[in-house]
Amino acid sequence: MKKHIKLFEPVIDSDDVEAVVNVLKSGWLAHGPVVEAFEEEFAKYVGVEYAATVSNGTMALALALKALGVGIGDKVLVPDYTFIASATSAMLIGASPIFIDVDYKSFNISIEDVLKKVEEIDVKAIVAVHLFGHPADIKALRDIASDKRIILVEDAAQAHGAEAWGKKVGSFGDAAIFSFYATKNMTMGEGGIVVSDNKAVIEKVRLLRNHGQIARYVHDELGWNFRVTSIQAALGRTQLKKLDKLNELRRQNANMLSNLLNGIEDIELPYEAPWAKHVYHLYTIKLGSRKIRDCIFNCMNSRNIEVGIHYPIPLHKQPVFQKLGYKECCPSATLLSERELSLPVHPKLCEEDLKYIASSFTECLGVCRAVP
């Protein structure tokens, strides 16, 4: 029996353990100097001036939008093909997500559809999701946002270390957010961060994450508790130090997998734009139909290889949005929801694992093609 190959597997080593233990021994477990050090280091890594940690990526996006002035009734453009938090974060602050179709090749928000929507309706903000580790066309989005005076926020929850035109994602918009959930390219177990060159935005996020408190027991406006702990930040600091190395391993694994799968009919391998550096949070392929995709999903899992479907329902078809009256839209997003399959590519995989993944996939594809 082959070993179980996971779709996600965080890399935790002795440095991570030692950093967390040191915080536990220090007795300073809540927000403190370790958190502030991590914020400074992460901002420098991305190439921006300021950063503020928060409890998770969802709240990072909600607070970033709120700090930039997005509020009740405002329209926020969100790609229809992404994790639901990219849309519900806007709803948390009373804004309304408007779903935009995606580019079939890259999975990211369609520039053509954005251009159409900004002419049709009054748009307050655009959420640019860098999905699966591949940057969105952030230069084009920045040009549109600048021309129309629209807020641009990068959702880089899956794209730590990804680059566009030689710059780290997260350094293009009015603000950007990252997630440190357990499956991300770097993790704090849970957590998020808002980054920006706008000091006022980050100060606002810091105020909102801490009960709106300007002095002890003095609360200037409505805020909440969305702080992270020093335990989380200690892990974040050590994870950040090895992020580039782990991303390079992901890229090497993705390259090997693409070489092993290249030339197989009826599949489309991951795309990397000439201006982009993909960090392969997920290695996403496209199959010819939902039937083949679902069959391969079951076949691979039966061989102890975890594969994933991200995401089987486009946002506009989610029950929560159907109940709110959202109409049919976004044909590319719908098609991708029927054809996408994610294969393991994380840094803990060895050459033997990748060969087994590729050979099993080829065999499963043959089996599934034969199913009437």
What percentage of the chain exceeds 70 in pLDDT? Answer: 99
Q: What is the pLDDT of residue 233?
A: 98
Q: Over the stretch 89-98, which tens digit does the pLDDT of each residue have?
A: 999 999 999 9
Confidence of residue 3 (pLDDT cuts 50, 70, 90): confident
Nearest to 46 by CA among 180, 193, 226, 189: 193
Other Cβ atoms within 10 Å of 3 Cβ, number: 10
The whole-number average pLDDT for the span 299-307 is 97
Q: Over the stretch 156-175, which tens digit does the pLDDT of each residue have?
A: 999 999 999 999 999 999 99
Q: What is the pLDDT of residue 342?
A: 98
Q: What is the pLDDT of residue 371?
A: 87
Asked if residue 8 belongs to a domain, the reply is no
Let me know whether 296 and 337 are in one domain. Answer: yes
Give the total number of structural domains in the chain.
2
Q: Over the stretch 348-369, which tens digit does the pLDDT of each residue have?
A: 999 999 999 999 999 999 999 9
Last residue of a domain, one of 217, 241, 265: 241
Last residue of a domain, one of 188, 217, 241: 241
Asked if residue 6 belongs to a domain, the reply is no
Last residue of a domain, one of 222, 241, 260: 241
The whole-number average pLDDT for the span 200-221 is 97
The whole-number average pLDDT for the span 46-66 is 98
The whole-number average pLDDT for the span 209-233 is 97
The whole-number average pLDDT for the span 45-67 is 98
| pLDDT for 1 beyond 60 | no
Residue 313, domain extent? 243-370
Identify whether 311 is preceded by a cis peptide bond (ω within 30 of 0): yes
CATH for 284: 3.90.1150.10
Let me know whether 288 and 237 are in one domain. Answer: no
Confidence of residue 372 (pLDDT cuts 50, 70, 90): confident
Let me know whether 363 and 331 are in one domain. Answer: yes
pLDDT, mean over the chain: 97
Give a three-class secondary structure readout of 242-283: CHHHHHHHHHHHHHHHHHHHCCCCCEECCCCCCCEECCCCCE
Q: What is the pLDDT of residue 161?
A: 98
Global pTM value? 0.97
Q: Over the stretch 98-147, which tens digit does the pLDDT of each residue have?
A: 999 999 999 999 999 999 999 999 999 999 999 999 999 999 999 999 99
Let me know whether 200 and 316 are in one domain. Answer: no
